[in-house]
Amino acid sequence: MDIISFNPTEDPRNIYSYRREKSFDSQLAVIDLDTGREIVCARFYWPGETVYCVVWIFSDKPARGYGKAGGGGYHKRSAALGEALSRAGVILSEPINGCGDSAMNEALLALARHMGVTRPLVVRTHA
């Protein structure tokens, strides 16, 4: 997987409406092992049938995005992350929506490579 383009955006909608702290489910963080810095943080909230995702990208041009996925029959976290990355200005070479945990990791590692990070590590935290 590759990044087609990364044009950091700040969506005018308030991403904090997507944060449901009482319903925190999990987090994916990408760490630059050479600097120890967190370069991407994706938080997932699951208050009911819908999964919400908020992503922050910490680069020389920071970006953030949000997404959500409801319904059933597919991997909701990856669908919400795919939408959040898109709203943050990340265009992936292939969709990750509904494709599972490995697709989410691949997308985040591709973003790290695109940002020039040579030794990224994806760290998952669960509630």
pLDDT tens-digit readout, 104-115: 999 999 999 999
Question: What is the DSSP code (8-state) at residue 75?
Answer: B
- pLDDT tens readout for residues 24-78: 999 999 999 999 999 999 999 998 899 999 999 998 888 999 999 998 889 999 9
Number of domains present in the structure of the chain: 1
Alpha-carbon gap, residue 99 to 83, rounded angstroms:
13
Contact 42, 108 (CB under 8 A): yes
Please state, in angstroms and rounded to a whole number, the distance separating the CA atoms of residues 71 and 91. 24
Per-residue confidence (pLDDT) for residue 38, from 0 to 100: 98
**Cα dihedral sign, 26-104-59-83:** negative
Average pLDDT of span 10-26: 69
Radius of gyration of the chain (CA): 13
Q: Are 5 and 91 in contact (CB under 8 A)?
A: yes
Q: Which domain does 52 fall in, by range?
A: 3-126
Neighbours of 26 (CB within 10 A): 16
Place 8 in a pLDDT band, splitting at 50, 70 and 90: confident
* Count of beta carbons in the 10 Å neighbourhood of residue 5: 9
